Chains A and B, each alone.
Chain A
Amino acid sequence: MPDSNSRKIPHFVAPVDEVPVLEVDAVRLKDKKSNLWLDAWRDMRVRPMFWISLVIIIVVIAMALFPTLFTQVDPRSCQLALSNKPPETGHPLGFTKQGCDIYSRIVHGTSTSLSVGLIVVTMTFLMGTVMGALSGYFGGKIDTVISRVGDIFFSIPYILAAIVVMSVMSAHRNVFVISLAIGAFAWPVTARILRAEVFRVKNADFVMASESLGLTKFKTLVKHVLPNSIAPVIVVTTLSLSSAIVAEAVLSFLGVGLPPAEFMSWGNDISAAQSDLRNAPQTLIYPSAALTITVLGFIMLGEVVRDALDPKARARR
């Protein structure tokens, strides 16, 4: 793609006598300090989408950490007599097929979704950053090896890969294993993005200055190159949080996720309710709504972060 920014430079000569040259170049000390992150924050805080997503995320985190604040009903005390019954006082969303309180199960299932999402994202961030930085900065053989290995993981559709891992690990399905199954095949995306960015940054003058001042290559990478190339990684990481949450739900829905007897998960509840779509749609709709709203919160956050950190995306707004 041609660089559209270079085309926008006006092709005329400024009338020099209007503003003294020194003043044009002068650093205005009175102005507010600014850098990429401060700019991003100033951009985000005026957007309603940011605050809406923040409210959703805070509620979700609170539900995951302190479920008893939201409901006193035990999600595991189920009476078959109440199977698929409509809402009553104390049970605002009604009951599942097993006669469990839907609202309570949703609240207690939050931590599963959120922890899988966070573990996956942490894993892909660390793995992708290390791999991307090494291959981008050192190039050569390291780059070839890492990029080809990344290609292999990248070529397997991640849901298929996760299905295989979960089938292999059928005896040990837990939150870490499912996160590993999703994250192991997601890191090449992060690595590729960082690699391209490091390639761009590493030829900058400040990198040469840092090396000339005697910093080792590794220190230069960590102190100067990484901080200047991490922004797109932050963007893709925020956006991938929502995909990780969806992936957990899809795997649980397919029956290769977390075992329903031990873990409360929205995916499991949706899966259990699918046969009752005709006569008790509420048992399916409420957990689906909880999942959708959570994902929406994280997607909106990702959008806002992207717009704030990527000037090209900002221009298209």
Chain B
Amino acid sequence: MLRYVLFRLLQVIPVFIGTTLLIYFMVFAMPGDPVLAMFGDKTPNPAQLERLRAQYHLDQPFLVQYFYYIKGVLVGDFGTSFSGQPVGEVLARTFPVTMKLAIIAIAIEFVLAVVIGLFSGIRKGKLFDNVNLIIALIMLSLPIFVIAFIAQYFFAIKLGWFRTTVGSGAPLQDLLLPGIVLGISLYATSMRLTRASVIDTLNQDFVRTAYSKGLSRGRVVPVHVLRNSLIPTITNTATDFGALMVGATVTEGIFNVPGVGNTLYQAIIRGENATVVSFVTVMVVVYLVVNLVVDLLYAVLDPRIRYA
């Protein structure tokens, strides 16, 4: 196990350096002078400009600037957003909300995926399976903002079951509607993976053995078939969780969820390109870490992975 953890950690280092370097290079290539932008309409004197450039290491070559940035990231200094708040502080405030939303969404996705996928797989080619496949295709075709607007229009505006946008403090009942929207937008892929896996498992010898030794369907399906079919579903849900942790930008924006994604959304809308980029860099790092943790947990759960 320790060997696997070390191996995986070593593997993530070049990817970490590569991704941050790539994004940092794009910022470096960004047109416009960030120091001049700090002064807005005022014209600063050249000495002031020089001092600020030196302070932010902007007079240094690209790789040195990058080195200073990474040094900052490693000690938890992610830079400052346009409004003067440290990016790290903004993230600390918004992250718990995003986490709550992600957990709701993932729970809905997983339950839908497993229940529907299992029944669809058992009843392959029957009416339920076919109807379900058509619904899944439609769900796959609906872009997330369309699902969000439909849900907002019917459940919040027409029926009044939920509030249209999330109130202050992000109470759980307000997060439910965006959570459902995200869960529905994600379930189709996981559901089809479950279905495919259930169909494959049903053809395995051990299932035939279980039936031939007289076990009932009520025992074979949940214990022998389902448990052995869940790995692809869990993998996909975990990947989705990683993606949600860095914020569902569109959904959080539409429902005004005070999370990581919405902060990014607001920064984009206000055209604060530098803030956008610094957020994205941190998010990519978070994404890498979440995926690493998921992979490691996975190795704990499934011995085949760590010995492969």
A interface residue numbers (CB < 8 A to B): 1, 4, 7-8, 148-149, 151-153, 155-157, 159-161, 163-165, 167-168, 170-171, 242, 246, 249-250, 253-256, 270, 274, 277-278, 281, 284, 288, 291-293, 295-296, 299-300, 303, 313, 315-317
CB-contact partner of A152 in B18, B125, B287, under 8 A: B18
Report Cα–Cα, A187/B62, bound state, in Å: 27
Which residues of A are found within 8 Å of B19, using beta-carbon distances?
152, 155-156
Which residues of B are found within 8 Å of A281, using beta-carbon distances?
153
Closest to A271 in B: B145
Chain B nearest CB from A274 CB (Å) reads: 7
Chain B nearest CB from A155 CB (Å) reads: 5
Q: Is the CB of A316 within 8 A of B199?
A: yes
Known: A161-B280, A167-B277, A313-B196. 9 other contacts (CB 8 A): A4-B203, A151-B14, A152-B19, A163-B264, A163-B276, A167-B273, A170-B271, A281-B153, A292-B143
Closest to B265 in A: A254
Given contacts A168-B30, A170-B273, A316-B196, contact A299 B15 (CB under 8 A): no
Fill in one digit per residue for B152-196: 1 if any A CB lies within 8 Å of its CB, else 0: 110001000000000000000000000000000000000000011
Report Cα–Cα, A255/B18, bound state, in Å: 28
B58 within 8 A of A: no
B interface residue numbers (CB < 8 A to A): 14-15, 18-19, 22-23, 26-27, 29-31, 124-125, 137-138, 140-146, 149, 152-153, 157, 195-196, 199-200, 203-205, 243, 246, 249-250, 253-254, 264-265, 268-269, 271, 273, 276-277, 280, 283-284, 287-288, 291
Given contacts A155-B15, A167-B273, A277-B157, contact A296 B141 (CB under 8 A): yes
Q: Is the CB of A249 within 8 A of B143?
A: yes
Which residues of A are found within 8 Å of B246, using beta-carbon distances?
157, 160
Chain A nearest CB from B150 CB (Å) reads: 8
Q: Is the CB of A296 within 8 A of B199?
A: no
Which residues of A are found within 8 Å of B199, using beta-carbon distances?
315-316
Which residues of A are found within 8 Å of B253, using beta-carbon distances?
254
Which residues of A are found within 8 Å of B29, using beta-carbon distances?
168
Report Cα–Cα, A165/B276, bound state, in Å: 11
Which residues of A are found within 8 Å of B140, using beta-carbon distances?
242, 299
9 closest Cβ contacts across the A-B interface? A152-B18, A296-B141, A167-B273, A295-B141, A288-B146, A168-B30, A316-B199, A168-B26, A160-B280
CB-contact partner of B149 in A8, A168, A274, under 8 A: A274
Which residues of A are found within 8 Å of B152, using beta-carbon distances?
277
Which residues of B are found within 8 Å of A288, using beta-carbon distances?
143, 145-146, 149
CB-contact partner of B269 in A151, A152, A255, under 8 A: A255
Q: Is the CB of A270 within 8 A of B145?
A: yes
Report Cα–Cα, A317/B153, bound state, in Å: 36
Q: Is the CB of A250 within 8 A of B268?
A: no
Report Cα–Cα, A167/B278, bound state, in Å: 12
Q: Is the CB of A168 within 8 A of B143?
A: no
CB-contact partner of A292 in B141, B205, B268, under 8 A: B141
Which residues of A are found within 8 Å of B157, using beta-carbon distances?
277-278
Chain A nearest CB from B224 CB (Å) reads: 16
Q: Is the CB of B284 within 8 A of A155?
A: yes
Which residues of B are found within 8 Å of A295, using beta-carbon distances?
141, 143
- Which of B140, B142, B204, B277 has the most C-beta atoms of chain A within 10 angstroms of its own C-beta? B140
Q: Is the CB of A148 within 8 A of B250?
A: no
Chain B nearest CB from A154 CB (Å) reads: 9
Which residues of A are found within 8 Å of B196, using beta-carbon distances?
313, 316
Which residues of A are found within 8 Å of B276, using beta-carbon distances?
163-164, 167
Q: Is the CB of B268 within 8 A of A254?
A: yes
Which residues of A are found within 8 Å of B138, using beta-carbon distances?
292, 296
Chain B nearest CB from A300 CB (Å) reads: 6
Report Cα–Cα, A212/B129, bound state, in Å: 50
Which residues of A are found within 8 Å of B195, using beta-carbon distances?
316
Q: Is the CB of B265 within 8 A of A7?
A: no
Chain B nearest CB from A170 CB (Å) reads: 6
Q: Is the CB of B18 within 8 A of A167?
A: no
Q: Is the CB of A152 within 8 A of B26?
A: no
Show 5 A/B contacts (Cβ-Cβ < 8 Å), sorted by A. A151-B14, A155-B287, A160-B246, A164-B27, A288-B145
- Which of A163, A291, A293, A317 has the most C-beta atoms of chain B within 10 angstroms of its own C-beta? A163
Closest to A172 in B: B31
Which residues of B are found within 8 Å of A293, using beta-carbon distances?
141
Q: Is the CB of A274 within 8 A of B254?
A: yes
Which residues of A are found within 8 Å of B27, using beta-carbon distances?
164, 168
Which residues of A are found within 8 Å of B273, using beta-carbon distances?
167-168, 170
Chain B nearest CB from A191 CB (Å) reads: 15
Report Cα–Cα, A7/B18, bound state, in Å: 43
Report Cα–Cα, A250/B124, bound state, in Å: 34
Report Cα–Cα, A136/B142, bound state, in Å: 35
- Which of B143, B243, B253, B284 has the most C-beta atoms of chain A within 10 angstroms of its own C-beta? B143
CB-contact partner of B137 in A161, A253, A296, A317, under 8 A: A296
CB-contact partner of A160 in B204, B205, B284, under 8 A: B284
Q: Is the CB of A255 within 8 A of B268?
A: yes
Q: Is the CB of B26 within 8 A of A7?
A: no
Chain B nearest CB from A147 CB (Å) reads: 11
Q: Is the CB of B149 within 8 A of A277?
A: yes
Closest to A296 in B: B141
- Which of A149, A152, A161, A281 has the most C-beta atoms of chain B within 10 angstroms of its own C-beta? A152
CB-contact partner of B23 in A7, A164, A316, A317, under 8 A: A164
Which residues of A are found within 8 Å of B204, using beta-carbon distances?
4, 7
